[in-house]
Structure 1
Amino acid sequence: MNPNIKKVLILAPHPDDGEFGCGATLNKFIQNGATVRYVAFSPCEASVPHGLPKDILYKELNKATSKLGIKPENVTTFDFPVRYLSDHRQAILEELVKMNREFKPDLVIAPNSKDIHQDHNTIHKEALRAFKMTRVLGYELPWNDVAFENRFYVKLDRSNISRKIEAINQYESQSFRAYKEDEFFYSLGKMRGVQVGSEYAEAFEVIRWILD
């Protein structure tokens, strides 16, 4: 891992996006001594399955991030409404600018530019504005990506992928989703690994890369 990357900020429009997109990479950063801060913007109350508590996803988020090794004090959540983040663009931008000023991340990992979900697109665009002087990568979510420029890879081992899957499995309220199956993420990690001569890997879009 790049020794100059000591503080990593992951931007997740919804709980679980960060784990799906780059959970194994976050685990590797933590193993290598980096501080990882995880930010989720919506509790997705309108999408919670009937009969479950409206805050269930944020409760599951706390369990999931702990599986990756992220400290509780490094998890930040907001209450913006799911599917309507674009209506709160300026407020989100102001929060991101504040994070940049206070946390000063060496790397930001956000939704990629080809992600078609409206909330993901909003976070992508506001991240570009807030962190234009910072390294920025876009994570992969195949079910949302109409295209994906996989130009950047992080080599991983099976333990990193296993931690990612452990984290994803904390989202029991989302067990109905087809892409939540363990085998999907082992297979995706294996495919990306084959592309770079590694046991496993996660792929990213290079949005901005800066060499010191």
Structure 2
Amino acid sequence: MNKKVVVFAPHPDDESLGCGGTLLKHKALGHEVHWCIVTDMSVSDAYSLEQKKHREDTLEQVAELYEFDSVINLGFQPAGLDSVPTGLLLNALKETLESIKPNTLYVPYAFDVHSDHKVVYQGVISASKTFRAPYVSSIICYETLSETDYGLSPSNTQFQPNMYVDTSDFIEKKHQILKCYASEMQSHPFPRSFKGVEALEILRGAQAFVDAAEAFVILRQRW
């Protein structure tokens, strides 16, 4: 069976921080991997033409390094998804799913602190209901540094992994890809740093008894 995977990234770099090694592993196994970017810097007035051009070049580099089978850019305003009409976002997500008919979805965690992450999570969950997208057999949440770890709540909503992927063979290429996003990364002790990425890989690896790993929460798994 040719597994089809879609990773939903509220913003470019979420896919690499959250599951970059896992996506590379999917490709190494011969699976189709598709990248759905939900927001687009080019529609915002908050960025210069130079920044927008740099982002376009970055996305091309990243897509080439992953060898994604397709890149879908939904083109919504960054940091503004909570003001997008629900029907508009759902239709865009449904069209994406119908065009690919994937088996496996990777989505941001429901309780990430960033509102865009929360909206993407809710939208994908709604668009992939079994009666709407019966071809989707797995829905898996990834963790994003500086978002998942800051989703503080008095309720027990913290990220509690129930799946680990051994990414030991893919960390070098994942780090190479993250260097494309150098402008988004900051120096230690900022959580979204190269040291932070490596520390999380080592921690999740220790929990899984491997050199390096990425951790996930499985929401749906049908065999």
User: 1:48: Cα distance to partner?
Assistant: 6.5
User: 1:138: Cα distance to partner?
Assistant: 0.7
Report which stretch shifted further, 44-53 or 103-112.
44-53
- Residues 60-109 of structure 1: CA deviation (Å, up to 9, x unaligned): 122123222324xx111122111111222322211111122221111000
**Alignment TM-score, normalising by the size of structure 1:** 0.87
Say yes or no: does 1:92 pair with 2:95. no
CA contact (8 A) 1:43 1:57 kept: no
1:82 aligns to what?
Answer: 78
2:141 aligns to what?
Answer: 138
Whichever residue aligns with residue 116 of structure 2, its letter is D
CA RMSD of aligned residues (A): 2.1
Partners of 2:9 and 2:18 in 1: how far apart? Answer: 9
Report which stretch shifted further, 29-38 or 89-98.
89-98
Unmatched segments (≥5 aa) in structure 1:
none
How many residue pairs were aligned? 205
Q: Percent identity?
A: 25
SS in 1 for 2:12: coil
Partners of 1:202 and 1:77 in 2: how far apart? Answer: 25
Of 151, 171, 190, the residue aligned with 2:202 is 190
CA contact (8 A) 2:40 2:78 kept: yes
Partners of 1:114 and 1:95 in 2: how far apart? Answer: 22
CA contact (8 A) 1:12 1:39 kept: yes
2:51 aligns to what?
Answer: 53
CA contact (8 A) 2:17 2:145 kept: no
1:49 to 1:173, Cα distance in 2 relative to 1, 3 A? farther
2:120 aligns to what?
Answer: 123
Unmatched segments (≥5 aa) in structure 2:
131-135, 152-157
Say yes or no: does 1:151 pair with 2:149. no
- Residues 15-65 of structure 1: CA deviation (Å, up to 9, x unaligned): 111111101100000000000000111123559766833243232122123
Report which stretch shifted further, 189-198 or 19-28.
189-198
Partners of 1:6 and 1:48 in 2: how far apart? Answer: 39
Partners of 1:184 and 1:176 in 2: how far apart? Answer: 10
1:173 aligns to what?
Answer: 183
User: 1:182: Cα distance to partner?
Assistant: 2.6
CA contact (8 A) 1:64 1:166 kept: no
Whichever residue aligns with residue 81 of structure 2, its letter is L
- Residues 118-171 of structure 1: CA deviation (Å, up to 9, x unaligned): 0010000000011123211111013112221211111121x4111111111112
Whichever residue aligns with residue 106 of structure 1, its letter is N
- Residues 150-208 of structure 1: CA deviation (Å, up to 9, x unaligned): 11111121x41111111111123324473443332222111111111112110011122
Whichever residue aligns with residue 163 of structure 2, its letter is F
SS in 2 for 1:52: helix
SS in 1 for 2:195: helix
**Alignment TM-score, normalising by the size of structure 2:** 0.83
Partners of 2:210 and 2:2 in 1: how far apart? Answer: 21
1:207 aligns to what?
Answer: 219
